[in-house]
Amino acid sequence: MTEGLFGALIALLVPVCFGTGMVVVRIGLQHMPPNTGNFLSLVSGWLVVTLLAFAIYPSQMLDMKWIALFGFALIGFINFPVGRFFNFVSIKQLGVLKAAPILAAAPVVSTAEGIFFLNENANGVILIGTLISIAGVVVVIRGDTRTTEPSTIDIVNEGTSSNFIKRHPILIGYLAAIGACLAYGTIPPLGRVAVAELAEPIVTASYTLLFGSIFMGLLASKNIPRDLKSAPLFSSGLVALSGILMGVGVSILYFALSKAPVVVVSPVFGLNVFVSMIIVRLFLQKLEKVNAQLVLGSLLVVGGVAAVIVGSQI
C-alpha cells in the first residue's frame, strides 16, 4: 500500500468525526449562540487533543520555535474563529442538511490552492469532479431559495444586526456557509505545509486548537459566561462533545496530510454530507427533513468529490 493511498483511507475517518459533530452541535446550538458554542467546542477539543499530544510527543510540545507558533496561529485563526464560527452560524440558520453540501465544496478550494501554491498535479477528471461539486451546491441552494419561511432561532443578542438576521435568515445562513467553505478549503494546504515543516500532526492539531480557542475567547469573551450560565447543561454537553469529535477529526486530517497530498485528502471531507444525512435520517427526522432536491444536490457534490479522488490517482 502506498503512502498516498494510506493517507486517503485514513482521511475517511475525518468525515465520520465532522459529520457526527455537525449533527450533535445542531442540537446543542438550539439554546446557545454560535460564538459561545464555537468557543466551548474549541476548548473541549483542545483539552482532549492536547492530553494525547503530551502523552505521545511531550518534548516537542514544550520546545516550539516562534516561526512554528506563528504558523499555528494563522491556521488556528482561519480554521476556528473564521471557519468553524461561520459553520456554526450556517448550521443554526439553515440546518445540517442544507449547510453541509456547501461545506462539502471546500475540496474545490483546497484542490485549486494545492495545484497553484504546492505544485500538485491536476487533470481533466479532477476538473470535471470540481464542476460536478459546484453543480451540486447550486442545486441545493436553488431548492431552498424558493422557501421564504424565516428561521425561528436567533444567533446573536437583540439589536440592529439581530433584526437584519431575523429578516434574512436564509441569506445569512448561505453567506456563512460559503465563508466556512472558503476557510475550510484553505486549511488542508496550510496543514500540509505545517505537518511537513513544523511539527507532528497531533502537535499541530493541539496548537491550532489552542490559538483558535484564544482568538475565539477574545472575540466572544463578553457574552461567554452569561451564555454558558443560561444554556441548559444538556446543550452545553452536546456542544462540548461536538468539539471533541471535531478535534479528533482535525488530528486525523493532519495525519492524513502527512501521508498524502492535498488533492487526495481534502475531497474526502465532502463525505460529511452523507454522514450527516444518514444520522439525521435515522435520529433527527423531527428536527430536519430530507427531500429529493437535497439528496440530488448532495449526490452531485459527493460524486464530484469521488471524481476528484479518482482523478488524483491517474
pLDDT mean over 267-276: 71
**In the structure, what pLDDT confidence band is assigned to residue 152 with cuts at 50, 70 and 90?**
very low
* Across 86-90, 239-243, 304-308, least confident range: 304-308
Instruction: Give the pLDDT confidence score for residue 157 in this predicted structure.
Output: 45
Instruction: Give the pLDDT confidence score for residue 9 in this predicted structure.
Output: 82
Instruction: Give the pLDDT confidence score for residue 70 in this predicted structure.
Output: 95
pLDDT higher than 70, residue 143: no
Q: Which of residues 88 and 20 earns the better pLDDT score?
A: 20
Q: Which of residues 173 and 139 earns the better pLDDT score?
A: 173
pLDDT higher than 80, residue 274: no
Average pLDDT, the chain: 82
229-232: Cβ within 8 A, 24+ apart? 231/31, 231/32, 231/36, 232/31
* Cβ(114)–Cβ(189) below 8 Å: yes
pLDDT mean over 14-38: 88
Instruction: Give the pLDDT confidence score for residue 156 in this predicted structure.
Output: 41
Instruction: Give the pLDDT confidence score for residue 153 in this predicted structure.
Output: 40
**In the structure, what pLDDT confidence band is assigned to residue 91 with cuts at 50, 70 and 90?**
confident
Instruction: Give the pLDDT confidence score for residue 312 in this predicted structure.
Output: 66
Tell me the pTM: 0.80
Range of the domain at 153: 3-312
pLDDT (tens digit, 9 = 90+) per residue, 42-65?
999 999 999 999 999 999 999 999
Domain count, the chain: 1
Instruction: Give the pLDDT confidence score for residue 160 in this predicted structure.
Output: 47
pLDDT mean over 75-102: 84
Instruction: Give the pLDDT confidence score for residue 238 in this predicted structure.
Output: 95
**In the structure, what pLDDT confidence band is assigned to residue 155 with cuts at 50, 70 and 90?**
very low
State the Cα–Cα distance between residues 52 and 32, nearest whole angstrom.
29
Q: Which of residues 60 and 133 earns the better pLDDT score?
A: 60
